[in-house]
Amino acid sequence: MCLSTAYLDSKSDDRVAAKFVAAIDVDGDTITLTDVMGMKMDVTGRIAHVDLTGGVVIIATDIQ
């Protein structure tokens, strides 16, 4: 099972938005992260980087 950690702006422990992310949905600038337990979190931003092998998602929040 491939689960990811989503970070806001940079890969740093203090910038974790969600862990064990199983699904990501994008609607405009709203990104919905769903973890393995089905909990959802909405973040405003854009997907800046995804490393599927490393399980890393970076969400840029500096949108205008």
Query: Helices then strands (H, E): number in the chain?
Result: 0, 6
Q: If you search the block for the tokens 């405009």, which residue do you land on?
A: 28
Q: How would residue 2 be classed by pLDDT, with cut points 50, 70 and 90?
A: confident
pTM value > 0.85: yes
Position 63 pLDDT exceeds 90: no
pLDDT at position 1, please? 64
Count of structural domains within the chain? 1
pLDDT at position 33, please? 98
What is the span of the domain harbouring residue 29?
4-60
Q: Are strands 46-51 and 4-8 parallel, antiparallel or unpaired?
A: unpaired
Q: How would residue 50 be classed by pLDDT, with cut points 50, 70 and 90?
A: very high
